[in-house]
Amino acid sequence: MKKTAWIVSSAAVVAAAVAGCAALPAGGSGNLDQETQHMLLTGFHAHGIAKMDRITDIDDTVKACNAADIAGKPLDEATAKRIEAENLKTIQWPSDGKFLGDWKAGEKIAQSGRGQTWSDKAGAPAGGNCYNCHQITKEEISFGTLGPSLYHYGKLRGVTDPNSAAAKPVVEYTWGKIWNAKAYNACSNMPRSGHMGNLTEGQIRDIMALLLDPHSPVNQ
């Protein structure tokens, strides 16, 4: 299971555990946070490359968003802006200044949900799993709708030449969003693909090309 998927799953488990603990008979510690943490640590175990850090090493951003989700209300504006500013600082821009790679490779990455499960080898390339939340091309017959459609992503934003000065704001935003979505939406459900190491810089370049290259099927 991917690192980001573990975090989302952990949030769901925490929410369910808290709800369950509320109905437990007396005799527990009385501290729901401690009881929930105990349930997570005893209910999961390391297997292959899937280590327990996926449960234990959750940063302050995810903790704040999980707490807001459990409470059933959004983060206050000041906290959300602070989290976004902190995550914006983590974005690593292309080391050679090149934002776009090969859209054909990007399409394969976007349509792949493999990688980072207990049965995968360490260091094996992971897929982007983009199709699970987004429509990518008009040929698709099955895709997720948790995120907006990406069909005509570049075309709708007027990107005819991704290397032009006019396209720079869109290009940089798109890179940043893929690298760390929480820099733009504090509690975004989108994986922080670059920040969490789910995708390499080269893979992100290829997905960028899929979204912004005028010749990509996304923009046809």
Distance, in Å, from the CA atom of 210 to the CA atom of 107, rounded to the nearest integer, reads 6
pLDDT of res. 52: 86
Give a yes or no: residue 95 inside a domain: no
3-class SS of residue 50: strand
Structural domain contains residue 52: yes
If asked whether residues 71 and 124 sit together in one domain, one would say: no
The identity of residue 18, as a single letter, is: V
139 and 49 in a common domain: no
Q: Are residues 66 and 127 in the same domain?
A: no
72 with 131, same domain: the answer is no
CA 141 – CA 124 distance, rounded (Å): 28
CA of 20: how far to CAs of 23, 37, 45, in Å? 5, 13, 21
> What is residue 203's predicted lDDT score, i.e. its pLDDT?
98
Evaluate whether residue 83 is within a structural domain: no
In a domain, 81, yes or no: no
Domain count, the chain: 2
The verdict on 112 and 214 lying in the same domain is yes
Domain limits for position 68: 3-76
Is the whole-model pTM more than 0.75?
yes
Whether residue 66 is contained in a domain is answered as yes
Under a CB-based contact definition with an 8 Å cutoff, are residues 161 and 167 in contact? yes
Q: Are residues 72 and 107 in the same domain?
A: no
Q: Is residue 9 part of a domain?
A: yes
Read off the CATH number of the domain in which 114 is found: 1.10.760.10
Is there a single domain that holds both residue 107 and residue 215? yes
Output the pLDDT for position 33: 74
Query: Is residue 214 located within the same domain as residue 121?
Result: yes
What are the CA-CA distances from residue 79 to residues 91, 161, 180, 181 (Å)? Answer: 19, 37, 17, 16
Tens of pLDDT along the chain (220 residues) come to 455 443 444 444 444 433 333 344 445 556 777 887 788 888 888 999 888 888 888 899 999 999 999 899 999 999 999 999 999 999 999 999 999 999 999 999 999 988 888 888 888 889 999 999 999 999 998 899 999 999 999 999 999 999 999 999 999 999 999 999 999 999 999 999 999 999 999 999 999 999 999 999 999 9
Say if residue 124 is in the same domain as residue 67. no
Which of 57, 76, 95 is the C-terminal boundary of a domain?
A: 76
